[in-house]
Structure 1
Amino acid sequence: MGVVREFGRDAADMFISAGRMLVRHWPVLLALSLAGMAFRGAALWTAVEVSDQVNWLGHGLVILAPLGFLLAMIAMLRVLRQDLPNTARAGSATAPADATTGRERRLIDVTTSMVVPFFAVYVSAGLLTHDVAQFLNEAGADEINQVDFYGTGDGPDFSRVFINSITLVVGLVLVAWVLRFALGRAEKRWSFLGFAVLGALVEVYWSANVAGYIDGQKAAAWNWLQTRVVVARTTELYDTALDRMGPLGEPAKVATTWLSELLGVVDSVIIVPLAWITVGAVVLGHKLAPAPKLEHPWLTRANAIPKPVVRSVAGLTEDVASRFSAFFAGLRLMARAGLVPMLLFGLAALLALRVPYLVSAVWRLVVGPVPGDTYVAWAPIEGAIADAVMMTVLAALLAAGVDRMLSRVNPVAPQGSPDLPTTAEPA
C-alpha cells in the first residue's frame, strides 16, 4: 500500500506540474515543435532535390531530418527548465571542464550523450524507416522496393542512405571520434564555436549511420530467421499441438498470440520511454555529470611508444569518455531515483505517444469524409501537426519527470561527493 500511495502521489505531482507548464507555455512549445517538424520536412525535401545533382550528398542530408525532433525537444526543455526548482538548480551548476577544450563543459560538448538515446527513440518509433521510405519513394524511382505497401517485400533500402557494412560502420565511428577530437583541439586553440558545431554534426552523422545499420540488420535477421527449417518445424509442431487440444486450442492460440505481440512492442513500451527520459536527463542535468577519471597505465609503462603518441591516444580516450559522460550520468540518475519514477514516466510517455491518434480522430470528426486525392494532399500536414502536439505534451511530461528524479537524488551534492559535483544555488 505504501508503494501504491507513493506512486499515486508522484503521478499526481508530475501530471499537475506538466499540466501547469502546458497551460503557461503552450504557444511557445507548440511553435517550437512545429518549427522542428518544418525542419524535418525541409531536410527531406532538400535531400530529394540535391540527390538529383549530387547523389551522395542527398543521401547524407537525410540524416539531418531527425534533428528536427531533437532540436525542438532541446529548445522546449530549456524553456521549461526555469519553471522547475530542481532542474533550475541543475542548470545553474558549474559543469566540469571539457577534457579536450579545457573550457566549462557545454551541452554541445556532450552531443553524443543526447543523440545515442535519441536515435534509439527514432528507430524504435519507426521514424527513421519513415524518413528513408519517403526519400526512396520520392527520389529513388529506379528502386523496385521503394515502399512496401503490402508487407510482402523487404521495405526501404537502407543501403542507399546508410552504410550497410559492419567494417565500414566501425571505420566510420573510429574516424568520427578522431575527427571530433581534432575539432575540439582546434576550438581550444582558436576559440571558434564553429568547430564545436561541426563536431556535433560529426557525432550526429556517425550515430545516425549506426542507428540505420542496426535497424537494417534487425530486419535482415528477422527475414533470415523466418526462412530457417527449425522455425518451420516449430510452427508445424505448434499448429499440430493446437489441433490436438480441441476446444482448448483457441484460448491457447489467443494467449500465445498476445504474448508474441507483447514481445513485439518491447521497443515501444520499454526502450522508447527510457531513451526519452535519458535525453531529458542529459539536456537538463548534463552539468551534474562528473568529469571521467581515466588512467592509462599500459601507455605509461610502454617505454617504446613515443611520448607524442601516448599523449594523443590518452587525449582521444579522454575525449570519447567525456562525450559519453552525461549519458552514463543520466542512466545513474534513473537508477538512483528508483523504479517508481521510471515506471511513472514510462506510462506517461506511452500516453503522450498516443496523442497523434487523438489528433487524427479529432481531425476526422471536424473535417469528415474527403476525396482520396484531398486526403493524400493533406496527410503530411496532418501528420506534422499531430507529431508537433505529441512533442509538446511529451516535453512537459519529460521536464516534470526529470525534475521529479532530481528531487529524489538531491542535485545539490555535498562537497567532495563522488557522484555529483558541487552546485551553486541560482542567484
Structure 2
Amino acid sequence: MSAASPTPDPSIRPADRRVSARIGAIAESATLAVDAKAKALKAAGRPVIGFGAGEPDFPTPGYIVDAAVAACRDPKNHRYTPAGGLPELKAAIAAKTLRDSGWAVEPSQVLVTNGGKQAIYEAFATILDPGDEVIVPAPYWTTYPESIQLAGGVPVEVVADEHSGYKVTVEQLEAARTENTKVLLFVSPSNPTGSVYTRAEVEAVGRWAAEHGLWVLTDEIYEHLVYGDAEFVSLPVAVPELADKCLVVNGVAKTYAMTGWRVGWVIGPQDVIKAATNLQSHATSNVSNVAQVAALAAVSGDLSAVHEMRVAFDRRRQTIVRMLSEIDGVVCPEPEGAFYVYPSVKGLLGKEIRGRRPRSSAELATLILDEAEVAVVPGEAFGTPGYLRLSYALGDEDLVEGATRLQKLLAEAQD
C-alpha cells in the first residue's frame, strides 16, 4: 500500500488556506498523544498506568548529568557552534560506532541532530525527490511515514504479522519494489514489535538492496537492547558493499535514558551528510551545546549503566509476556529487542466487555483506558490494526499492576 503526497485544493485561493496541505496532512504522534493523555489523567488524580511512551524510567546516569552541569558554567557553550555538531562529539560518535557495531567511519560522515526524529527527517529530505518511493515494513514507528511524506516521498507499506515474528522477507520486499523505489527503511531491533532480524536475514536484505542499487535508511537506536540469543547486526557491516548507499540513524535517548536531552545523529556518505548539514544549518543550527557535551560523556563512557538497564528490561519483558499470554484472545509473541510487546488482540474484537463491543484495536484501547485506567497504543498507529503496543520501560510494580488490571478487565470478554 502506498500513500500519495498531499496536494492543495485548487478551488481554494492560496491566501485562504490557513494550513498548508503538506503540514495539514501530518497526523499527531499517536504514542505521544497517548502518553500526554495518561499524564493529564494522572495530574487530575486518576491512578493511570501508562504503557504508551517508549521512555526508560531510569534517570540519566550521574556522570552524564555532571558533564552537562559543568558545560553550563563554561562560557564557550553559551555561543553558536558548528551546525553539524561539536567536532569532539562527532569524533566520539565515530569511535563509538566502531566499538559497538564494527563500522569504521570518519567524523565528517556524522551529523549531530536534535534527537532521532530530526535525523530521520533530514536523512529522507536529503535523498528523496517528489514521488520517490520508500519501502516501509509494517508494523512501523509512527514517525517514519510522516517524515517520508514531509520529504516528498511516498511510503510503500509491506506488512508482517505475528506468524513471521513481525519480520518481512526478501520476497515481500521484491514484490513491493517498482521503478520508483529509491529507499528501503530497515529497523532491527524494532519499535513497535521488538523483533530482531538474525545475521542471515540482515545479510539477505542487504544483498537484495545492494543488488537493486537501493538506498537503505537503518535505525539503530535500540542496538544495545537485545535479549537471550538475539544479536544486533549493523547492516553496513554485514553487507559492506551497501555502505555507500546506507544512512544509519542513532542517538543517546534509549541507550542512556536521555529521551529529553534530544541528541541523535545520522551517519552516511560524506556528500549526503554535507547536504543534510546544510539543511540543518537553516532549520535549527547547532544542537544545544550542553546536551551535546552530555552526549559526549555518554558515548565516550563505558556501557555498565546500559547493562544494568538491560537486565531490568529483560526481567520486565518476561513478566509482561507471561501475564498477557494468560489472557484469552491475546497472542503475545516474545520480543527479542527494544522494550515493547506487540500482542494481537484480534481474538477480543467484537466481544462484549462491560457493555461495549470494541470493533477495532483503537476502540479497545479507549475502553481499556476508560475502564482499567491503563494507557496502551492501538495498532492503527503503527499501520496494523488489531494489535496493541505496550512499552515495558516502566517500574516493575506499575508493570505488574497494569498487566493485572488488563487481565481482570479482559477476562470479562464474552460473545
TM more than 0.5: no
Structure that is richer in helix per residue: 1
The structure with the larger Rg is 1
Structure that is richer in strand per residue: 2
